[in-house]
Structures are given as structure tokens and as C-alpha cells.
Amino acid sequence: MTPAPRQVPDSAVRALLLAAGSSRRFGGDKLLYPLAGRPLVTHAATAIAEAIAGGILRGAVAVVPSGATKLAWHLDTLGMDLVPNPDPARGLSSSLRLGLAALEQSGAPAALVFLADQPFVRAEVVTGLVLHWQATGRSVRPRYAGAPESPGHPVLLDRAVWRLADDLVGDTGLGDALERHGVAIDELPCDGENPDIDTPADLRGLGGFP
């Protein structure tokens, strides 16, 4: 029998927002382009800030390119601790390692990893992932009904698996390492989807105007 979840308020889970991508396919710094009247990056960051205010998450760090002043300002304004990535060209794996290292110093027992170019993270998904970890102690990711073949985000990583990120290279997330080491990650069924914004056409299709 699955144990009853602990209360979500005063959750120990911290968020990690990965916001140091090169935006090569977009052709520019996509995270500052507007969507629904505000910069793309602020959508995921606001979802995190609201989860912190509601006690679902305890705090957050955001990995940003060194010297990205405008991007950093938006995230600092939303209360995030900033972690500079001096060489974002090394790919997603480098940002993941930097962010997890910062959270390791904070003593966080689990990290909920968000991608900054996914603007439609819903509160009920965040809450569901945290509740699942509280009940089981297992890493978990959403499986969206609207995109069942795609690995869902954000991904909640129990601290026990963080060191698997040490050997990652390039634009590789922790999923490949978990599979190689035979570490299972649970899936939480969720409605809808949470699409990436990879190209200007993606943003225009959602009401943005690059």
C-alpha cells in the first residue's frame, strides 16, 4: 500500500530552473521574447514563485549564462537564487550539474527541475509531483495525455540520483543516465501538455511575436 503523503505545506522540495540554453534553433535569446505580454522566461519562473508562496516548494535556484543581466533581473525579481554558468555552450548537462551542486549545499532532499522555455507548467502538476515524492521518496515526472510519447517536465529528482549527472555531457538530461544505471523513474498521469518553445514559429503559434 502506498503510504499517505505528508502535508504539502512546508515542503522540503526546491526548484531548479534551467535558463542558460543557447537558443540556437530560435536564432536569439528566446527567453526574453514576449509571450502574453511578458518575457517567456517569467512564465515558468512565476509558476515556481507561486508554488513557493503556497508552501509547495521551499525555494528555487536558476542557472543563467554569466553576464545575462536582463535575464537575471527577471529571475531575481521573482525571488530566485542565481547560479551563473560561465560556459553554457557545454549544454544542458553543465547547467544541471551547477544547479544540483547549489541545491546540494542547501541540504535539499529533492529537486523539481524546470525548463525555462516551457511556459505552461500548471500548479496541479507541480503539487502532484511533490505529493508523489512525499508519499514514495521516488523520482517522478509527468506523463501528459496530450504528448504521451514525450518525456514530461518538470522532473522531480530525489537527491539519491543527483550524482548521476556528474558524467553527463552536452545537451543531455538525467533521463539517459537513469536508464543506463537501471534506476526507475515514476510517471504521474497528467492532462494536457507542456510544450517546448524551440523556434520563432512555436512562439508565434502561442501568441508571442519574435
- List, for residues 100-147, the tens digit of each pLDDT value: 999 999 999 999 999 999 999 999 999 999 999 999 999 999 999 998
Q: Is the per-residue pLDDT at 10 higher than 90?
A: no
| Angstrom distance (rounded) from CA 130 to CA 121 | 14
| Angstrom distance (rounded) from CA 144 to CA 198 | 19
Residue 37 Rama label (left phi>0; alpha psi -120 to 50; beta): left
Range of the domain at 93: 14-204
For 87, the 3-state DSSP assignment is: coil
Asked whether residue 5 is assigned to any structural domain, the reply reads no
Q: Is the per-residue pLDDT at 203 higher than 90?
A: no
Q: Are 208 and 40 in contact (CB under 8 A)?
A: yes
Q: Which three cell numbers stand for residue 5?
A: 503523503
Name the residue type at position 135: A
Q: Which pLDDT score is estimated for 185?
A: 93
Asked whether residue 9 is assigned to any structural domain, the reply reads no
Q: Is the per-residue pLDDT at 1 higher than 50?
A: no
CATH number at residue 26: 3.90.550.10
pLDDT 10s digits, 148-170: 888 899 999 999 999 999 988 88
Q: Is the per-residue pLDDT at 23 higher than 90?
A: no
Asked whether residue 196 is assigned to any structural domain, the reply reads yes
Residue appearing with cell numbers 536582463: 70
For residue 65, what pLDDT band results from cuts at 50, 70 and 90? very high
Q: Which pLDDT score is estimated for 3?
A: 42
Q: Based on the structure, what is the number of domains in the chain?
A: 1
Give 2's DSSP letter: P
Name the residue type at position 12: A
Residue appearing with cell numbers 555552450: 89
Asked whether residue 191 is assigned to any structural domain, the reply reads yes
Q: Which pLDDT score is estimated for 179?
A: 83
Asked whether residue 137 is assigned to any structural domain, the reply reads yes
Average pLDDT, the chain: 88
Q: Which pLDDT score is estimated for 2?
A: 42
Dmax (CA) for the chain in angstroms is 50
Q: Which pLDDT score is estimated for 115?
A: 95
| Angstrom distance (rounded) from CA 7 to CA 54 | 12
* Higher-scoring residue by pLDDT: 180, 205: 180
pLDDT 10s digits, 66-90: 999 999 999 999 999 999 999 998 9
Q: Which pLDDT score is estimated for 25?
A: 56
Asked whether residue 8 is assigned to any structural domain, the reply reads no
Q: Which three cell numbers stand for residue 38?
A: 511578458
Q: Which pLDDT score is estimated for 11?
A: 78
For residue 4, what pLDDT band results from cuts at 50, 70 and 90? very low
Asked whether residue 2 is assigned to any structural domain, the reply reads no
| Angstrom distance (rounded) from CA 142 to CA 64 | 25
What integer is the mean pLDDT of 40-65?
Answer: 96
Asked whether residue 210 is assigned to any structural domain, the reply reads no
DSSP output for 12-67? --EEEEE-----TTTTS-GGGSEETTEETHHHHHHHHHHHHHTTS--EEEEEEETT
| Angstrom distance (rounded) from CA 103 to CA 91 | 19
Whole-prediction pTM value? 0.90
| Angstrom distance (rounded) from CA 203 to CA 35 | 7
